[in-house]
Structure 1
Amino acid sequence: MKTNVGSLDRLIRLFLASALFYLGLFSYSGSALGIGLVVAGGVLLVTALVGFCGLYRLLGIHTNQPTSNFRKT
């Protein structure tokens, strides 16, 4: 599994995951919306930590920058 999520994208996902967790656990706790927010936050958290997004793969999106093994002189 290759990474297709860049570092800025990961940071944004972590921020959104924490916001969704907060809303799901405190503002909408005990409701279906709260559960949905927690699940969405969990998906964002996992994709941010792993660096791979299945939806990005299906759509052909890569936000990471390819690395080269060659040294520029």
Structure 2
Amino acid sequence: MKKNMGTADRIIRIIIAAIIATLYFNGMITGTLGIVLLVLAGVFVLTSLISFCPLYTLFGLNTCPSKIK
């Protein structure tokens, strides 16, 4: 897998995941919506850790800065 996520994108995803987790564990979002958002937060963290988003590949996106040779 070739990296396709830049640093800013990774940080934004981790912040969003932390917000969702905080809201869920404080009981502000509950039920099915809470579980779906918690799973989405997990996906955000996982994709941030590996710097690869499969959806970016499907849409031809790449936020990782290219290295000048």
What secondary structure sits across from 1:67 in the alignment? coil
Q: Normalising by the residue count of structure 1, what TM-score does the alignment of the two structures yield?
A: 0.84
Alignment match, 1:28: 29
Following TM superposition, by how much is the alpha carbon of 1:28 offset from its aligned partner in structure 2, in angstroms?
Answer: 2.0
Following TM superposition, by how much is the alpha carbon of 1:24 offset from its aligned partner in structure 2, in angstroms?
Answer: 2.2
Following TM superposition, by how much is the alpha carbon of 1:67 offset from its aligned partner in structure 2, in angstroms?
Answer: 1.7
Following TM superposition, by how much is the alpha carbon of 1:37 offset from its aligned partner in structure 2, in angstroms?
Answer: 1.3
Q: Normalising by the residue count of structure 2, what TM-score does the alignment of the two structures yield?
A: 0.89
What secondary structure sits across from 1:66 in the alignment? coil
Alpha-carbon RMSD across the aligned residues, in angstroms, is 1.1
Alignment match, 2:8: 8
Aligned counterparts, 1:1-73, within 5 A: 1-26=1-26, 27-29=28-30, 31-68=31-68, 70=69
What secondary structure sits across from 1:64 in the alignment? coil
Task: State which structure, 1 or 2, has the greater radius of gyration over its C-alpha atoms.
Answer: 1
Following TM superposition, by how much is the alpha carbon of 1:25 offset from its aligned partner in structure 2, in angstroms?
Answer: 2.3
Q: Could you list the runs of 5+ residues in structure 1 that have no partner in the other structure?
A: none
Following TM superposition, by how much is the alpha carbon of 1:52 offset from its aligned partner in structure 2, in angstroms?
Answer: 0.2
- Deviating runs (4+, > 4 A) in structure 1? none
Instruction: Report the residue type matching 2:29 in the other structure.
Output: Y
Identity within the alignment, %: 38
Task: Compare relative contact order (CA 8 Å, sep 6+) and give the higher one, 1 or 2.
Answer: 2
Aligned residues: 68
Q: Could you list the runs of 5+ residues in structure 2 that have no partner in the other structure?
A: none
Are the equivalent residues in 2 in contact too, given 1:25–1:34 (CA < 8 A)? no
